[in-house]
Amino acid sequence: MAEPGRVAFCDFGKREEMTPDQIAEVFDKVARVYDETWKARNYRDHVYVAEGVMDYYSGDRESVRVLDVGAGTGMLAEELWKRGFRLMDGLDPSHGMKVEATKKGVYTNYYTEFMDGKRINGLATDAYDCLVVAAAFNTGFIPCAALPEMARLVKPGGLMCFGIPDSRFTEVKDYVNRLAPLMKMMEEGGVWQLLDSKYCHDFYDNANPGNVFRYVVKASSIDAVKYIDRLRPVD
């Protein structure tokens, strides 16, 4: 792998200089070693998110339709599979990640799409019971503008569960003074309701504290522009 790609994989800030397609190419190149890299760093975000979803769906999990956004190689889906979930789709822009994830046999469908705020026409409103995200709230991945589109895909009463390290709110330019206010605005606007947030002290590297947020979706018809236009400009 070329050195710029290696740097961008390890140094999140380097991705600010890259286009979304260039970032996807970086992950194409590291896909075959992605799992072992994060296991060596004692990555835990996906485990915590899976536990939060399992707790919400205490009954029949085989019929729960789940969309894994920023699915990567399927590490989160593997954890959900262990806990009885069977109807899972993945979404990630990296073809290389899709290749590795497909080998695991945990996804029904895998969409090579960006979750960037634009409407994904191939995915219907209220298509899923649950939407999950692990390790994809970061520079060059899920922008603030994507949250309303993500909520559109989950039927009322369904769950959105995602982990965000504390540092992302202050270090990712798109999130600074924007992500937390957007999450609150969407709750005040009736899009979703915060069920709870669970503090975790070690998302990876036995450090990097953050929270796993669980939101119950309340609305099907969501005016994304209404929320995004109210955000302050990116500095």
Domains of the chain: 3-228 (3.40.50.150)
- In this prediction the pTM is 0.94
* Amino acid at residue number 153: L
At residue 8, does pLDDT exceed 90? no
Q: What is the pLDDT of residues 169-188, one digit of tens each?
A: 999 999 999 999 999 999 99
Query: How far, in Å, CA of 105 to CA of 67, rounded?
Result: 15
Q: What is the pLDDT of residues 189-208, one digit of tens each?
A: 999 999 999 999 999 999 99
Q: What is the pLDDT of residues 62-118, one digit of tens each?
A: 999 999 999 999 999 999 999 999 999 999 999 999 999 999 999 999 999 999 999
Q: What backbone torsions phi and psi does residue 113 show, to the nearest 5 degrees? A: -135, 155
Q: What backbone torsions phi and psi does residue 48 show, to the nearest 5 degrees? A: -65, -40
DSSP string, 13-61: GGGGGS-HHHHHHHHHHHGGGHHHHHHHTT--HHHHHHHHHHHH--S--
